[in-house]
Structure 1
Amino acid sequence: MNRRVLLALIGTLAMALAGCGGGEESAVPPATGATSSPDLLKNAPVADAAAILSGSTMERIKKRGKLIVAEALDAPLLSQQNPTNPDEVTGFDADLAKLLAVYILGKPEVEIIPPATETREALLANGTVDVVFNTYTITEERAEQVSFAGPYFESGLAVAVKTGNTEIKGIDDLAGKTVIVGANTPAVTEVPQRQPTANVVAFGTDPQAVTALLQGRGDAYVQDLTLLASDAKSNPQLTVVGNPFTTEPYGIGLKHGDTEFKDFVNDWLKKIQDGGQWAAAWKSSLGTVVESDPPTPPAIGSVPGS
């Protein structure tokens, strides 16, 4: 994720907390609080025994009996821990991690180690975690230190409006409108490029921008989708409309050079896209606050560094 956007997201979440060979089908018992979609894990694919290569990372995970994941515990709709039940972690990234565990183990056994932005590479390099699901934007620079499966999701700038506004459905409807953006975010330059007649008004923090929108000081608020989704989750007066109009490709971080595991994870990702589990995970998380159909998953290997 863009560093400035990520810093804004972290700050907002902190405030919110304060206030291939073909897989065989297997009936997998759902983990406690695993997902709001009851059939997501039950119908999840499980890898054939032949896909668990001898001496591979997959085999080590299977022998250990759990998948160790670097994943946030305070990211609404992505991976958020239930404060009343610490064993319950829900969201899009959390569900995908459980689906990968099912594919390897036949059960959603996941151990979560919350990473800091600057520790993700080290956690993979020293073997502390098997994978990273953590809004981990694929870049060529990062790909020199880690391998990326995917991309598995594309975030980017999106549009939010005051709930009940049916006139604006996305970036194409912002011509001549007053558009709120976060200061020092990509929206400052991107909105005028897309809609030259829009009146862009910048606010220093995300809470200030949300308040301005709800007070009617702007027609729409443009910010990163994951941040807007978090805002909408905690404030039903705000609605996200449409899918992102810029791209921020998120990858699954793996230990650098582990080609066997990367191919295995990419094969799994294609299976859950084709089988509908990817869309089901999106619907039960980000899709609960975004007024659109599930987006088309990005093509695997489609960005430099993947």
Structure 2
Amino acid sequence: MAPNPKLHPRNQHIEGYDFTRLVAQTPELEKFTIRNPRGQRTVNFQDAKAVRMLNRALLKTHYNIDFWDIPEGYLCPPIPGRVDYIHYLADLLADSNSQIIPRGGHIKALDIGTGASLVYPLTGQSEYGWSFTGVDIDTAALESARQISDENNLNVTLRRQIDPENIFIGAIEADDFFHLSMCNPPFHSSLEKAGKGTQRKWASLGKGRSNKLNFGGQHAELWCPGGEIGFIARMVEQSKSYKHQCLWFTSLVSKKDNLQPLNRILGRAKVDEFKIVEMAQGQKTSRFIAWTYIRQAQRSSFAASVGTPDVH
């Protein structure tokens, strides 16, 4: 993979994939490597097994993850882009901490829809040592996440969300306090639209028609009633009830056109502050929104109350 200078400056993948190093750490990757038209070593990203093996090698080489696998058909996340979210969240916390990035297990993060891959807790703990609580509605995904956590001795609490209409309700308990919440919400409003999105993706890659996603995905990972806007709107509405238990609520937003209605929703929620943080990744620009109900002057004391007497 060629260098990608648009990734976050702290992203370990900014110089691209070092296949010599990756194969040395994970020899099983060797049989999946090919040469692209420029003669560069890569893998076939249409091959789900190759993508899964690449992820396994990346997580082992860069994040000290000795065991990683996901059930067939579940979302296989592109590691560089997922890690960018973590790094920008670290910058967000630094803004409330005299521009010092807070590190250590006393920093508590809530991962909504943690998925079978457990990608955010894996990379977030490796990069910054944060503690994670992962929530998901899918029992098979949680079982996979639990196996990954146990095999790697991670500090991750896993909870099942029972009600598909709830996001924070049932996920945040009475004595919980978090520095941040994060989420990669379902993009589409229906299975049909998810399928059309797949076709556009393959067409943009010049691969013709296909019913497969190279990164997989179960229906709960790809679509929900109301789509991304509906999901985040419920997230904002429910966040009001936990305004004193989380410093920053955040969510990825896949489509730039969704920002305007989400801005209106956040305005009606009377949050103290909200931000749009853009993350450029090669040809693609992604973003997340962040909102807080806690006044700026009180944010440092809130962080301390969550168990951060020293976040230097």
Calculate the TM-score normalised by the size of structure 1.
0.31
- Select the structure that is richer in strand: 1
- Select the structure that is richer in helix: 2
